[in-house]
Amino acid sequence: MLIIFITIILTLTIAVLFDLLVARFTGKRILGYVASFLITLIGFPLIIILVTPAANDVFEIIIALGIALMWWFIYLNAVQAVESSLRIRMLMEIQARGGALSVDELHAAYSDERLIRIRLKRLEEAGAVTTVGGLRRLQSKKLLNAALFFTALKRIILNKTSQFDGVGN
């Protein structure tokens, strides 16, 4: 079992290094995420089969691959949080002002209006949203499916469709 965990750590180290190198030299995050995912998904079983061809059974590889993919997912979430989490951005704002900030100053730096309009601008720049005659329309099927998926999960788990259900419309 020790060999399995050494292989998981080795594979993930390669995957993370590849992701960081892609980020540093190309600035493209999606490419790095996809490459690191594929390294974990395909590279791990290949390495384990090559290292110990006789010792493994299929259930051992499935369980170990499950652990490797979960650890990759944890890395992905940590990285995503650093790059786009509003909470992390707010902590960075407090740090940038010397470690202390009034609530009003934080709201001045991070108003809901500014936040939403910046995100909307990014969606427009990415071609996911178009604006014609002052009317905004969604163009991205991927975002549509992601919204439907998370809304369905929220309905199943919390029996509501939005965190702000009940906030005046």
Site for other proteins in 81-100 (CB under 8 A): 82-84, 86-95, 99-100
**Smallest gap from residue 75 Cβ to other proteins (A):** 11
For residue 63, what are its two tokens?
């369980």
- Locate tokens 């407090």: which residue? 94
Q: Looking at 34-42, 45-53, 75-83, which segment touches other proteins (CB under 8 A)?
A: 75-83
The one segment of 36-44, 45-53, 107-115 that binds other proteins by CB under 8 A? 107-115
Residue with Cβ nearer other proteins (4 or 39): 4
Element (DSSP H or E) covering residue 54 = none
Least Å from the CB of residue 145 to other proteins: 10
User: How many C-alpha atoms does 67 have within 13 Å on its Cβ side?
Assistant: 14
- Is residue 46 involved in binding other proteins (CB under 8 A)? no
Site stretch for other proteins (CB under 8 A), options 37-45, 46-54, 142-150? 142-150
Instruction: Report how far residue 121's alpha carbon sits from residue 139's, in angstroms, rounded to the nearest whole number.
Output: 14
Task: Please identify which residue in the block is written with the tokens 């005046």.
Answer: 168
Q: Return d(Cα 16, Cα 68) in angstroms, integer.
A: 12
